[in-house]
């Protein structure tokens, strides 16, 4: 055994577990805070519906009641964010810039799966020091139809009919599994997403303060609305 190993302090597995449960990280000795949210997406017959709550938290503190978690990348392409706000907002800006350059050069809309691959590559290249995010990318093009992508912090891409990301996802999935079916209308899809997020707001203390919804179609601007929630 080396001399430096003899004087190096040891941390038991119980202490390590307690630090993780308290929201601490040993990567650089600094403390981080657990964050929470509920983001939901599903595909309809001719549209993609995305929805989020409005609350941003740091541990048990409500940091914002008007947080923006639903972002337009292009007219036909939107994204929800969960996790670290700074990381997520940086990725929104980068993806918006990259997709705009693509469309200016080619004079056509970028495909949803192509935009997802750009984002996946950015995340994968930084997997040793990953962005602390969970993202849902959704949109509609003439060639692809409605596309919904669940994109993980390491760059994984999971095409889905419906998905949820965030601390309230377990409660939302119960509603999505029970209510989702093929061929939903836009109104039916928005109602299901609203109910899914409402179920999370009721049970998840990190989610709340209203619901942002958007319906994305290939024709015309996306339909967006805010629904206040009495708590």
Catalytic residue, chosen from 10, 32, 37, 185, is 37
Axis crossing angle, helix 112-125 with helix 85-106, rounded to the nearest 10:
130
Q: Please give the torsion angle defined by the CA atoms of residues 44, 69, 123 and 104, in that order, rounded to the nearest 10 degrees.
A: 70
CA gap 210, 190 in Å, rounded: 14
Q: How far is CA 197 from the centre of its chain?
A: 13
Name the strands in the sheet holding 70-74, side by side, starting at the edge strand that comes first in the sequence: 70-74, 77-83, 133-141, 145-151, 157-159
The radius of gyration of the chain from alpha carbons, rounded to an integer in Å, stands at 19
Which residue from 118, 125, 190, 184 is spatially nearest to 154, judged by alpha carbons?
125
CB 116 within 8 A of CB 151: yes
Tokens of 25: 């990280």
Judged by DSSP in three states, 228 sits in coil
Tokens of 215: 């319906």
Q: Is 10 a catalytic residue?
A: no
**Annotated catalytic sites, by residue?**
37
């Amino acid at each position: 055994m080396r001399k430096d190993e003899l004087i190096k302090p040891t941390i038991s597995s119980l202490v390590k577990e307690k630090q993780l449960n308290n929201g601490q990280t040993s990567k650089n000795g600094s403390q981080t805070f657990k964050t929470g949210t509920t983001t939901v997406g599903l595909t309809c017959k001719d549209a993609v519906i995305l929805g989020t709550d409005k609350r941003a938290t740091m541990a048990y503190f409500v940091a914002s009641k008007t947080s923006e978690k639903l972002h337009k990348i292009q007219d036909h392409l939107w994204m929800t964010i969960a996790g670290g706000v700074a990381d997520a907002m940086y990725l929104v800006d980068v993806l918006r810039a990259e997709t705009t350059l693509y469309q200016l050069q080619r004079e056509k809309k970028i495909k949803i799966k192509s935009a997802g691959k750009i984002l996946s590559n950015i995340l994968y290249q930084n997997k040793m020091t990953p962005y602390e995010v969970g993202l849902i990318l959704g949109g509609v093009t003439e060639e692809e139809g409605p596309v919904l992508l669940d994109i993980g912090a390491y760059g994984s891409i999971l095409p889905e009919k419906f998905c949820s990301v965030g601390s309230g996802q377990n409660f939302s999935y119960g509603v999505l599994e029970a209510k989702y079916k093929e061929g939903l209308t836009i109104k039916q899809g928005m109602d299901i997403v609203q109910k899914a997020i409402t179920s999370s707001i009721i049970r998840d203390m990190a989610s709340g303060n209203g619901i942002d919804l958007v319906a994305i179609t290939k024709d015309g601007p996306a339909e967006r609305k805010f629904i206040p929630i009495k708590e």
